[in-house]
Each structure stands twice: as structure tokens, then as C-alpha cells.
Amino acid sequence: MANLVDLIHIIPPDRDEEPEDIFASAPGLIFTDDTRNHHGEPRSVIVYKSRRFGHIELRTADPEREDERQLFSHYLWNAGINMAELVSSVTAKDARWSVKGERVLELGAGVIICPRERRAKLANFFEVAVEEGMETEEIYEEDVGGVRRTWQTERDGGREDVMERKRWLVISRLKRRLADCTLEGM
């Protein structure tokens, strides 16, 4: 898979910029060890370079005008880019991510959790999901360049570096346990 950041191009909204604004989108160029995990700004256009569908223009929300989307609706998150690549893939290797003919519940693409608590909260989420009748088919971590590693509920004795943590996405496939499915619920 291509580096996730290389799959997008941001076209900022037309506006009068201050001279200092020239650095607003440059942190990744200045601080090369810092991974940008979200992209865009209010009212910008993000061009997603889909391997399957070509260039797709996405318009970000203006949180000032949309009360119900005040938090982070104006960003495209690396998790969203990764998921789009997985579900739109046509390779046999990625066929397990096909959603054709399936009912899908998207739980979020870019959960904001305090870095110190992130792993504990995600581990708790997966525990509760299992208690509620879900089954974890697959879970792993992948960085923006496509390097995978096993999911662990704790890394480095709970002292994982924030800059390093930003590089990794937790990717999981959950499904309803067959014993819990009924004809009425399908």
C-alpha cells in the first residue's frame, strides 16, 4: 500500500492569508519525524487519489456553520484513508475487506483519545465488544507506510512515545458472533 499521506492533496479554501500562514501546512516538511494523522481545514477541498476510482474531491465541513459537527468534521483522518483503500481494493489479498452485500457499521475513522489513555480505552472497547456479542476476526496495527505489527494492549510498559504512537493505526474487523444472530436481527 502507498504511504497514506501520498494518497491525498489538499486545496485550501480561498481566503486572505497572513504571512505566517505559509507554515500552517508545513509541519511534516519541517519536522520529518512527526506523522500528520489528520488533513484539511474548514472549507478545504481534499483530493483523494483512489487506486480504484481515480481522483475523488472531498469537501470538508465548516464547523462554524454546522453545530452538530463541531468537533473534527473538517479533517480527513489517516484511518479514513486507510479504510477507503481497504474496502475499495480489488486484490484477492484484500478481499476480506469487501463490504459488497454486507451490512456495515462504521465506528469511527480517527478517534481522538488522550495519547496516554489511548491503548487502555481501545483495549476496553474490544473487551466490551466481545461481551456484547461481537467477535474479533482480526486486529493489528499499521503505520502510514503500510508496515504492520501485532496489536498489544500495552507497549513500552505504558510509556509509549506520543510521536511514535501517532504513526500507527489500530485496524480491526469485528463481526457478530453466529450464535448471537437470529433471523429477526438479520
Strand partners, 73: none
pLDDT 10s digits, 57-93:
988 877 676 666 556 667 788 888 888 888 888 776 7
pLDDT 10s digits, 30-45:
666 667 777 787 778 8
Write out the three cell numbers for 176. 457478530
Q: The dihedral of CA 4, 163, 43, 72: what is its sign? A: positive
DSSP secondary structure letters along 84-148 = HHHHT--SGGGGGG--TT-------SS----TTTHHHHHHHHHHHHHHTTEEEEEEEEEETTS-E
Which helix (H) or strand (E) covers residue 45, if one does?
Answer: strand 45-50
Each domain of the chain, given as residue ranges in start order, spans 1-112, 113-186
pTM, two decimals, is: 0.73
pLDDT 10s digits, 118-128:
788 888 989 99
